[in-house]
A and B are shown apart, each in its own frame.
Chain A
């Protein structure tokens, strides 16, 4: 069984300040973990993924996430927020190597607001 909890439903930051979106997961096996971004009325864009290689994962648009097994966390960070980062962010877990990547479990999402 797998589950994911996004600890904040809304995060608001000022432009140019750091972003932290928190995610905790549980998985019966070694999980694959993903962060997706969804802009209003748009599809899903993959930001980054962890699949048992390096624990610090770098993604697109300056985002990165660190897999911490001891804390069962996969928090998303960015050093400096940009106005265009305002969107909904989803943390996703998948027992991909045992089950299949398509049957993933999504968190409820975190809405990121960026203030000028």
Chain B
């Protein structure tokens, strides 16, 4: 059973471009979470999604950031018009259920560098 798969592992974008980060949850997991880790900091929750639904986006920046988890395919975190401050590691986690899960499983992360 493959773990949570994120791609790409490293992404370089110029200011103003769009960044698309992908996350395939573990098999059988229908709950996905995105976190951002700024340099020298811990991970901060961004958004929680189930298939075709955003459950909690309380940690998402109000502009330029969006996330989806379609019925088929991976979850996508999209950052439009990237700026230098978006440079960070973005981690995805998945769990088999929402309430009642005692652990989420993390991917290896995507390191976004904005130049």
Query: Do the two chains bind?
Result: yes
Residues B101 and A44 in contact, CB atoms below 8 Å apart: no
B103 & A49 in contact (Cβ 8 Å cutoff): yes
The size class of the interface chain A forms with chain B is 20 to 34
Q: Are A102 and B48 in contact (CB under 8 A)?
A: yes
CB pair B45–A43 under 8 Å, yes or no, is no
Cβ–Cβ contact A99 & B31, under 8 A = no
What are the interface flags for B75-109 relative to A under an 8 Å C-beta threshold, 1 for contact and 0 otherwise?
Answer: 00000000000000001011101111111101111
Q: From the candidates A43, A49, A51, name the one contacting B107 in the complex (CB within 8 A).
A: A43
Partner of B45, one of A32, A41, A105: A105
Q: Are A49 and B45 in contact (CB under 8 A)?
A: no
Interchain Cβ contacts under 8 Å between A and B, 20 examples:
A43-B109, A44-B109, A46-B103, A49-B102, A51-B103, A90-B42, A94-B104, A97-B99, A98-B99, A100-B48, A100-B95, A100-B100, A100-B101, A101-B104, A102-B31, A102-B32, A102-B94, A102-B95, A102-B98, A109-B42
Which A residues contact B (CB, under 8 angstroms)? 32, 34, 36, 41-44, 46, 49, 51, 90, 94, 96-109
Which residues in B have some Cβ–Cβ distance to A below 8 Å? 31-33, 35, 41-45, 48, 56, 91, 93-95, 97-104, 106-109, 111
